[in-house]
Copies of this chain bind each other. A is one copy, B any other.
């Protein structure tokens, strides 16, 4: 298994390949690789029983491919956690480093890292860390953008994009923060929220509010 094949599996996983068909185009866009190259690689992954490919219909992970992808996500997120917790990286900068380290991480190393970090549940952006055996719980797919005015919610996960994370770091927002939605300004204006305990409201851009997943507080 090569690093590139691993990245294909991982993006298929991230695009929902465990429960639905993923398009060639989305993979092509996600990896920045020409569509023709994607078709070629996908057919190799299909030969290895890691994905199922119905030409012109879409691509999904086999159980084997899903397990492999989840283990990669685990390694990726363990590294991100290490970099933030131990090496004091800021959380916008860890993705790039983890993106390459993940491919050079033996199962033994992953286990040792997990112990060292005391079994973290989630990465710095709130992404759940799959178990060593490749299991992962369901995650929220509710967007902050879709919360109602007045609702009190917990920020669960930020999409792993450098610009977004830099922006959120400036706004001093973190996964786990409890916030109250004040109002949605019209015409794709910002979402105004208030952090629990704070007096100043925070403007979250329309676009950012569509890249943050939340959990409704009980």
Residue numbers of A with Cβ under 8 A of B are 83, 86-89, 97, 100-101, 103-104, 106, 109, 112-113, 115-116
Contact = CB atoms under 8 A, between A and B. Distances in A.
Copies of the chain in the assembly:
2
A112 B100 contact: no
A104 B100 contact: yes
A96 to B, nearest CB: 8
Given A87-B115, A101-B104, 9 more contacts: A83-B109, A83-B112, A87-B109, A87-B112, A87-B116, A88-B112, A89-B112, A101-B101, A104-B104
Contacts of A104: 100-101, 103-104
A179 B152 CA distance: 68
A113 B104 CA distance: 17
Contacts of A113: 87
A10 to B, nearest CB: 16
Contacts of A101: 101, 104
Contacts of A89: 112
Contacts of A116: 86-87
13 contacts: A83-B109, A87-B109, A87-B113, A87-B115, A87-B116, A89-B112, A97-B106, A97-B109, A100-B104, A101-B101, A101-B104, A103-B104, A104-B104
Contacts of A106: 97
A115 B112 CA distance: 20
Nearest to A93: B108
Contacts of A115: 87
A171 B91 CA distance: 44
Contacts of A112: 83, 87-89
The 8 A-B residue pairs with the shortest CB-CB distance in the complex, in nearest-first order: A87-B112, A100-B104, A101-B104, A104-B104, A87-B116, A97-B109, A86-B116, A97-B106
A106 B99 CA distance: 12
